[in-house]
């Protein structure tokens, strides 16, 4: 719609925003009318109309099999559009049109904003299935007529009210028509079932909806006046009401076809099962986070025990082996600590990488500088846990073997994330400027425990590749190529 309006019309950005607000709401008008809606806007030169949006009803057959958006028609071909635009009134005159052997009643509703007519809604009703209307259908049609008059007067949609049509109740979910005093004139079967879920034993017709709703939604304090007003339809509002184990979502729409409120529409949806599932998911997420938190605590306890044992060792070799184990356990603990703070099983690995680098760098403080370039991005837990151990082993190996005691140097970790596609890869390079690899060194066959861990995790757990190469000038370069799923 943005492109069509800016390309073909003289409407301002604020006018375009009004049309967006209308289009976000007009599914309700389409459903209540049992009709297709097409929004036509006059072109810049005033000689044609361009259709910028279309809506089909959920409550009846469509009148348009084809997509009408983007069509241009000259002024004069559709007299009802001309009359609605020029006179600023709803036009219903004329005989039904025949489209593919289907009779269609056409009406035109001017779209007004701040006294100006921006365009015209063509309301097209398929008459092939017309029958004697029920009380539900009569209520729908009367409500649609009231909304159409409000659109023509510039009173609907409501300025400043943003509605999420994916979550907001629709006409078919449940509809209640109130008079000006908030008394129920009509309640659809779905609406009545929703209130029975809240504990209502009687009929709704003739009841004051605000008072009934407040009684069914118990509160610890006085009666919730805001809830009474909302359910009475005095202002456009949305809320959820919970009682008797049931939850319903309410949306109130005041009806002011001639400027004075004559009543209200209340749309409602029974969301009991949806909220129950959401609470179960929240409980599950909390349980998972608690498990990660406890695993992290247990790992830290293991690390503390190993550290204590290392202090009691007489052998320098044994002490160093235990300290290496402490760092391995610590790298896994960092991942679980991060997961314990998230709502899903994904982590921002840059933070984990920085903490791993800081932890490993403690073995040579002030002598070798470690830094990170690039971004790892968001990774799944099953990738983050082994990758943290791999990074720990590679950094630990570089700091222990690349530099002589007391020698200064740099270890640089670079991460390059592939383009967001199914076969995206993460390329990690760890480059040091130390003494380089020994002559004849084969990283694929080296018996060092750390390298064995790296090979096993990279090739087995992560499904990637691992290699160690001489640096461009001096030092050693470790290259990891790991497949990853792109996370938003």
- Residue with the bigger pLDDT between 27 and 287: it is 27
Mean pLDDT across 244-266: 92
Distance CA 72, CA 52 (A): 10
pLDDT in tens, 392-404: 888 888 888 888 7
Q: Does 389 have pLDDT greater than 50?
A: yes
Q: First-to-last CA distance in the chain?
A: 26
- Non-local CB neighbours of 395 within 8 Å, separated by 6+ positions: 356, 357, 360, 361, 370, 411, 413, 430
> Is pLDDT at 218 greater than 50 in this prediction?
yes
Instruction: Using the predicted structure, report yes or no on whether residue 259 has a pLDDT greater than 80.
Output: yes
Q: What confidence tens digit (pLDDT) does each residue in 128-151 have?
A: 876 678 899 999 999 999 999 999
pLDDT attached to residue 54: 96
**pLDDT confidence bin for 486, thresholds 50/70/90:** low
Residue the block writes with tokens 């991460």: 415
- pLDDT confidence band for 219 (50 / 70 / 90): low
How many residues are present in the chain?
488
Mean of the pLDDT values across residues 200-225? 79
What integer is the mean pLDDT of 257-277?
91
Pairwise CA distance, residues 296 & 294, whole Å: 5
301: left (phi over 0), alpha (psi -120 to 50) or beta: alpha
Share of residues in the chain with pLDDT > 70 (%): 93
Where does the pLDDT of residue 220 fall: very low under 50, low under 70, confident under 90, or very high at 90 and above? Answer: very low
Q: Is the pLDDT of residue 307 over 90?
A: no
Confidence grade of residue 380 (pLDDT, cut at 50, 70, 90): confident
- pLDDT, tens only, 82-138: 999 999 999 987 777 777 777 888 999 999 999 999 999 999 998 887 667 889 999
Give the pLDDT of residue 165. Answer: 66
pLDDT at residue number 314: 85
pLDDT in tens, 156-205: 998 877 667 677 899 999 999 999 999 999 999 999 999 999 999 889 99
Cα distances from 432 to residues 393, 405, 438, in angstroms, run 14, 15, 14
Residue 135 CB-density burial (10 A; 0-12 exposed, 13-18 middle, 19+ buried): exposed
CB-based contact 74:83 (threshold 8 Å): no
Determine the average pLDDT of the residues in 1-9.
93
Residue 431 bridge partners (DSSP): 412, 477
Residue 312 pLDDT greater than 90, yes or no: no
Q: How many CB atoms lie within 10 A of CB 488?
A: 4
Give me the pLDDT at residue 423, please.
Answer: 65
| pLDDT for the residue numbered 9 | 93
Are 432 and 408 contacting, i.e. CB atoms less than 8 angstroms apart? Answer: no
Contact 250, 265 (CB under 8 A): no
pLDDT top residue among 367 and 394: 394
* pTM: predicted TM-score of the whole model, two decimal places: 0.65
Q: Is residue 280's pLDDT more than 90?
A: no
- Nearest-angstrom CA–CA distance, 385 and 408: 30
**pLDDT tens digit sequence for 21-68:** 999 999 999 999 999 999 999 999 999 999 999 999 998 888 888 899
What are the pLDDT digits (tens) for 455-483? 888 888 899 998 888 887 788 899 999 98
Residue pair 480/428 in contact (Cβ under 8 Å)? The answer is yes
- Predicted confidence at residue 130, as pLDDT, reads 67
Report strand pairing: 116-126 vs 36-42. antiparallel
| All residues at 6 or more sequence positions from 52 whose CB lies less than 8 Å from its CB, including other chains | 1, 4, 5, 19, 39, 40, 41, 69, 119
415-459 pLDDT, tens digit each: 998 776 656 889 999 998 888 887 777 777 766 777 888 888 888
CB 4 within 8 A of CB 52: yes
Q: Are the C-beta atoms of residues 98 and 104 closer than 8 Å to each other?
A: yes
Give the 3-state secondary structure of residue 414.
strand
């Amino acid at each position: 719609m943005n492109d069509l309006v800016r390309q073909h019309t003289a409407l301002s950005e604020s006018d375009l925003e009004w049309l967006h607000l209308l289009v976000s709401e007009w599914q309700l008008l389409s459903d209540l009318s049992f009709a297709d809606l097409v929004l036509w806007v006059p072109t810049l030169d005033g000689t044609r109309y361009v259709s910028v949006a279309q809506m089909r009803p959920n409550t009846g057959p469509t009148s348009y099999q084809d997509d009408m958006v983007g069509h241009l028609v000259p002024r004069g071909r559709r007299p009802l559009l001309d009359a609605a635009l020029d006179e600023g009134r709803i036009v219903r005159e004329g005989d039904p049109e025949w489209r593919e052997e289907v009779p269609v009643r056409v009406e035109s509703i001017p779209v007004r904003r701040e006294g100006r007519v921006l365009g015209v809604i063509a309301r097209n009703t398929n008459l092939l299935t017309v029958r004697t209307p029920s009380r539900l259908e009569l209520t729908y049609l009367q409500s649609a007529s009231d909304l159409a008059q409000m659109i023509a007067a510039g009173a609907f949609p409501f300025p400043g009210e943003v509605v999420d049509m994916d979550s907001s109740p629709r006409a078919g979910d449940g509809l209640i028509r109130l008079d000006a005093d908030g008394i129920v004139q009509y309640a659809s079967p779905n609406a009545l079932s929703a209130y029975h879920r809240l504990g209502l034993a009687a009929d709704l017709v003739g009841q004051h909806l605000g008072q009934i709703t407040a009684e069914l939604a118990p509160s610890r304090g006085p009666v919730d006046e805001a809830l009474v007003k909302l359910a009475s339809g005095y202002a456009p509002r949305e809320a959820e009401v919970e009682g008797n184990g049931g939850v319903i979502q309410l949306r109130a729409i005041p009806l002011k076809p001639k400027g004075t409120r004559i009543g209200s529409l209340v749309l409602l949806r029974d969301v009991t099962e949806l909220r129950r599932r959401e609470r179960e998911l929240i409980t599950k997420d909390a349980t998972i986070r608690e498990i990660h938190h406890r695993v992290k605590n247990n790992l830290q306890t293991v690390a503390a025990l190993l550290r204590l044992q290392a202090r009691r060792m007489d052998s320098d070799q044994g002490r160093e082996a235990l300290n290496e184990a402490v760092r391995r356990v610590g790298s896994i603990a960092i991942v679980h600590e991060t997961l314990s703070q998230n709502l899903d099983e994904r982590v921002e690995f840059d933070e984990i990488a920085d903490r791993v680098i800081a932890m490993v760098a403690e073995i040579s403080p002030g002598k070798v500088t470690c830094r990170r370039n690039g971004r790892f991005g968001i990774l799944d837990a099953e990738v983050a846990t082994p990758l943290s151990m791999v990074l720990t082993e590679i950094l630990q190996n570089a700091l222990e073997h690349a530099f002589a005691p007391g020698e200064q140097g740099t270890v640089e970790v670079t991460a390059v994330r592939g383009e967001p596609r199914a076969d995206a890869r993460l390329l990690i390079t760890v480059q040091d400027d130390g003494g380089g690899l020994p002559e004849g060194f084969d990283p694929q066959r080296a018996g060092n425990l750390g390298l064995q861990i790296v090979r096993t995790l990279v090739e087995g757990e992560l499904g990637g590749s691992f290699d160690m190469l001489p640096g461009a000038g001096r030092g050693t370069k470790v290259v990891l190529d790991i497949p990853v799923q792109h996370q938003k």
